[in-house]
Chains A and B, each alone.
Chain A
Amino acid sequence: MATHASFKINGLDELREQLRRLPAELRDQGRTIVLGQANGAAASIRAAYPKRAQTLADSVMVTTFDSSQFGAGATVKNTAYHAWMFENGTQARHTALGANRGVMPAGHVFIPELMRHRRAMWQQLTELLRTAGLQVSGDAGG
């Protein structure tokens, strides 16, 4: 005699609907994290530049872009022409009047501050995914 068994899982439709909404919700929350850390990095960088280098501080820009329906991004950039030289250092230089400015050691402001905030961003994004019930493995570095 054949026997039959059946299972009925309640709530499956709701689960499916939640999964469908998940990417958009994660994107919105992820965007808040990304933009927050980008603006935080810009503020930290501006504050860390020497007070006499106001042009450097004023030239820190944050631009945002949404790369796709499921992504968010931001770029932190210093548009001052001498930003590279401040960050990486100079050798003996002279002003237009011939005054010797001397050697400027690498400032190391932009890169370290950006790295700190990028690391914090990864941690927050990881936490966001875990909170959503997803498993996160590996390390994005920092």
Chain B
Amino acid sequence: MPADSSAIDAALLAYLRADATLAGLLPDGVHMDVATGGAKRFVLVSLVIASDLGQFGGRAIEDVLYLVKAVVFNGVNGDVPAAAARLDALLEDGRFPIAGYELMSCVRAERVRGTEVDDADPSIRWYHRGGRYRVQATPLLTARAGADQ
């Protein structure tokens, strides 16, 4: 039975949620795809693309690209550069445990930055800053089976 790929998503979210500095900068949490209503300073993670590298008899490497960004509403006191820098400090060459996998690497592939202006009220702005991060992980069962041969 192949490893559960969702464990990679969960591990990334748990790693970010566990950081007290990041939580101080973005107190409204770390969310997948869509933030909860009312959140004004938070981290948003979404899956861009995932591809598998096979080997004889199993899956060797899962290569997952995530969009990870700090999102801050301009009506609150938020330090967007510091939040994005903290995200990068955590994720560039980051190490975190993944159930059923061994993390191989976590690096930024591309920087992302944008400002969203509300159509009806241009004074309302949302700042987005972060990057696309590539996470590569190998399923532990596959690695063990390979080592036993």
Contacts and interface: CB of A to CB of B under 8 A. Distances in A.
Interface of A: 84-85, 88-91, 93-98, 101, 103, 105-106, 108, 111-112, 115-116
Interface string B116-129: 10111100001010
B46 A91 contact: no
Given A91-B126, A108-B49, A111-B65, 12 more contacts: A88-B67, A88-B69, A89-B67, A90-B116, A91-B71, A94-B121, A95-B119, A95-B120, A98-B120, A106-B44, A111-B48, A112-B49
Nearest to B128: A88
7 contacts: A88-B67, A94-B120, A105-B34, A106-B44, A106-B48, A111-B48, A112-B65
A84 B114 contact: yes
A112 B44 CA distance: 18
A112 B118 CA distance: 27
A86 to B, nearest CB: 11
Contacts of B48: 106, 108, 111-112
Interface string B13-35: 00000000000000000000111
Interface of B: 33-35, 44, 46-49, 65, 67, 69, 71, 73, 112, 114, 116, 118-121, 126, 128, 132
A106 B69 CA distance: 11
A34 to B, nearest CB: 21
Q: Which secondary structure dominates chain A's binding surface?
A: loop
A22 B120 CA distance: 59
B118 A115 contact: no
A112 B65 CA distance: 9
A96 B44 CA distance: 26
A106 B67 contact: yes
A91 B73 contact: yes
A121 to B, nearest CB: 15
B67 A90 contact: no
Contacts of B34: 103, 105
A88 B114 contact: yes
Contact of A91 (B47, B116, B132): B116
B46 A93 contact: no
Nearest to B110: A111
Nearest to B112: A88
A105 B47 contact: no
Contact of B114 (A85, A96, A112): A85
- Residue from A89, A90, A111 with most neighbouring chain B CB atoms (10 Å): A89
A60 B26 CA distance: 35
Contact of B35 (A84, A91, A111): A91
Contact of B46 (A96, A101, A106, A116): A106
A97 B65 CA distance: 37
